[in-house]
Amino acid sequence: MNLTHLIWREIAHRRLNFSLMLLSVVLAVACGVSAVTFLRAQALFNEQQVRGLDDEIRKITKDMGFNILILPKDENLSDFYADDFGARTMPETHVQSLAASRDVFTIRHLRPALIRKLDWPEQNRRVILMGVRGVVPFAHRNPKKPLADPVPAGKIDVGHLLAQEVDLQPGQPLTFLGETLEVNKIYPPQGNKDDITVWIDLDKAQQMLDLPGKINLIQALECNCNAIDRLAEIEAEVSGVLGDQVQVIELATKAIARAQARTRVSDEGAIRLKRGRRIAGTIIPLTIVAAGLMVGLLSLANVRQRRQEIGILRALGMRSGQVFRVLLAKPAVIGIVGSLIGYLVGFGAALAMESGWRLGEIHESAVRSLFLFPVLGVVFVLTPILTVMAGWLPALYAAGQDPADILHQE
Amino acid sequence: MTVFGTAMLLELENVSKTFSRNGHHIPALRDFTYRIEPAQFVAICGPSGCGKTTLLLICGGLLRPETGAVVLYGHDLYSLSPENRAGIRSAHIGFVFQQFHLVPYLNVLDNVLAASLGLRLDDAAQRKQIRQRAMELVERFGLADRAEHLPAELSTGQRQRVALARAMLNRPKILLADEPTGNLDADNSNVVWEYLREFAADDRAVLLVTHDSAAAAQADQVVHMEAPSVEAD
């Protein structure tokens, strides 16, 4: 016979009292755990959605190419849109300046270009000539896979429609503005001006057009940043390096729409999570306080019910410290058992809610991704501390009672 | 610590106790002096409210008197800390009550063993020994076939025998009994008297408080109490 035996026998004897205390703790823990787990599930769902949109953006931008154009400041945009190219030029060194800057973060993949719409006298047709160089890497960033390959010297890339009309094949020689070039690549149909464009090495284009060291366009790809006015941010960064000699335009693209959708999904998810956290932040403390009160009141009822027993045990020589320990052991046991059962119930409820109560569709991977050992640890440590705190005053009251008073009254 | 005489088992010297209720002072004991030697069976007899139970609780180290001293087996009870007094109670005093006061969720054997909860039984041999003694007492009090039963499953006579066995588990020097046969029939009462006499004869002592003169007549010596004055035979 020892105190542990006494504790277990009492718990087994007063099952209703024990069950009610346990139930209140299980409900409080389950409420907290299910809220935390459900919020985590929501956060993971949001992340997954955002990741999906990120992938989509990546795929679209990969197919689409550059969506930021940097033009000379004095370029007339009306003419640019009407003619598909700019008449004004700027030094090619602008590209190197941007690539060397440590203050440019919002754009990637810089590519200088010299564009003209001109006659191809050998074929008696009008084409767009685009002199390009390979992508210029940023000096202070990790190199990325180039978005576009350079056109090797002596070669020419041809748009789909043009190649079809002139009947060109890769490897075939052709004459362009008096220069003999070999067809390097024929692009698939794009459904835009690219279909009547030819691409050659920038040096060769500058030489043909008698514009050495000049370009009229820098192409770039904007990063997927969360800024509300991204274009203004890009402009600010570029003008920080090149002063007011250039202007920046953004091509409205599917990628931008996707990027905006991604930002919206991310923002809405964050708002939903914030709201959920606020609700949980109110409900969880309330349930903890309610459970604590319940445990405290039931402990008080329990010690009042055990008044005679406490009196006789004290008369038999049990010390008040022993009585205190016996009375506190019950809330401690309830805290330990309640935390484990409550965690399982709460976790299960959150999984069920997350699956729309289709229990058969809960996957092991979902269980693994939502299970958080630190949450279990905190629940397992904190719950017994709280239940012991709730039972502290009733136990103190009982241990401090005068056994003579009890026996006198009994 | 005051020690009156080493031959005495329990000594009460000028013990007084007054209760205060609603601004009124009700004397329960006034300058009560008495000594109990080993092997004595003493009955304190008096009407309800004369302070019998108060005296018993004072003797048991449970109720501090306003004046006077209580010395048990050489220990001045009320000069000790409550914790040490609990230790003395556990080792040297046995209690038997009219209402038995058994722990309702412990079976007969565990109820008897409950008296050992206040002892410091450090090793397994001591724990085994005390369990062995509990089983012997259960057998001796005719409760062997009821050892696993709860108090609610016992007759009143059996419950009082469990309470007696519990009081005797730690081989106390003195047994304090408050109307121990108050709820028992004649046959069961006789069994209890027999055990109490047997206990006192073993160089120990029994202090019985009762309002029943027939019950008091079972003792070797009877002290009559009339609140708050005391008269001895």
Predicted structure pTM score: 0.63
Give me the pLDDT at residue A145, please. 64
Identity of the amino acid at B198? E
pLDDT tens per residue, range A378-408: 888 988 998 888 888 888 888 877 777 777 6
For residue A394, count other CB atoms closer than 10 A to its CB.
Answer: 22
Does A245 or A1 have the greater pLDDT score? A245
Q: What is the pLDDT of residue A410?
A: 60
Q: What's the pLDDT tens digit per position in A115-145? A: 998 999 988 889 999 999 888 888 777 776 6
Cβ–Cβ gap B83/A5 under 8 Å: no
pLDDT category at A254 given cuts 50, 70, 90 is low
**Residue numbers in B near A410 (CB within 8 A):** 99, 101
CB contact under 8 A, B90 and A318: yes
> Could you tell me whether strands A155-158 and A179-186 are parallel, antiparallel, or unpaired per DSSP bridges?
parallel
Domains and CATH numbers, chain B: 10-97+156-162+172-232 (3.40.50.300)
Residue A222 has pLDDT above 90, yes or no: no
CA-CA distances (angstroms) from residue A258 to A146, A254, A255, A264, A265? 22, 6, 5, 10, 10
- B111/A contact by beta carbon, under 8 A: no
- Of the candidates A2, A308, A317, the beta carbon closest to that of B90 is on A317
Higher pLDDT, A140 or A153: A153
Among chain B residues, the shortest Cα distance to A326 is held by B117
Q: Taking CB atoms and an 8 Å limit, are A312 and B101 in contact across chains? A: yes
pLDDT (0 to 100) of residue A243: 87
Chain B residues near residue A313 by CB distance under 8 angstroms: 103, 114, 117
Residue of B54, B63, B101 best to disrupt the A interface, most CBs of A under 10 A: B101
Q: Tens digits of per-residue pLDDT, A258-317?
A: 666 777 777 887 888 788 788 878 877 887 788 788 878 888 887 788 888 888 888 888
pLDDT tens-digit series, residues A172-199: 999 999 889 999 999 988 888 888 999 9
Task: Give the pLDDT of residue A128.
Answer: 93
Q: Which of B62, B117, B127 sits opposite A403 (nearest CB)?
A: B62
pLDDT of residue A175: 92
Cα A124 from Cα A121, distance rounded (Å): 5
Which pLDDT belongs to residue B228? 57
Contacts of B113 in chain A (CB under 8 A): 1
B82 and chain A in contact, CB less than 8 A: yes
Pairing of strands A68-72, A217-222: antiparallel
Chain B residue closest to A400 (CA)? B82
Q: Report the alpha-carbon angle A299-A302-A308, nearest 5.
A: 140
**Strands of the B24-36 sheet, one edge to the other:** B24-36, B10-21, B67-72, B75-76
How do the pLDDT tens digits run along chain B, 233 residues long?
A: 334 445 688 999 999 988 887 777 888 888 889 999 998 999 999 887 788 888 998 998 888 899 999 999 888 989 998 888 888 888 899 988 878 889 999 999 999 999 998 887 778 888 899 999 999 989 988 888 999 999 999 998 889 889 989 998 988 999 999 888 887 788 878 888 888 888 888 889 999 998 888 888 888 899 988 765 444 44
